[in-house]
Amino acid sequence: MDGEVPDGLCVDVDGNLWIAVWGAGQVRCYSTSGERLATVHVPAPHTSSVAFVGTDLDTLLITTASASFCSYRRPAWKPFTC
C-alpha cells in the first residue's frame, strides 16, 4: 500500500467494514474476519470518507478530496454512482 492510507470508514448492517483508501481511489470492504469482500474504484485518487445513507441505509456515499492539487492543476472529476 505504498502511498495509500486508510482514511474514513463505516460499518454496514452486516458488520462489514468499509474503508476509504486515500491515494488509491478506492473504497474497500472487509468482513468481520478480515477478508476483503469488495473494492469500489473511484475516479479520483483521494477517497476520504464513506457512509451509508438513505431510508434503508443502502446507498454508499463516498467523499473525495483534492488537497494535494493546486487549483490550476486540479482535474474536473465529476460525481458518479455505482
Q: Any idea which residues carry the catalytic annotation? A: 7
Total residue length of the chain: 82
Task: Tell me, letter by letter, the H, E, C secondary structure of 49-77.
Answer: EEEEECCCCCEEEEEECCCCCCCCCCCCC
Output the nine-digit C-alpha cell for 10.
Answer: 463505516
Q: What residues form DSSP beta bridges with 79? A: none
CA distance 11 to 79: 23
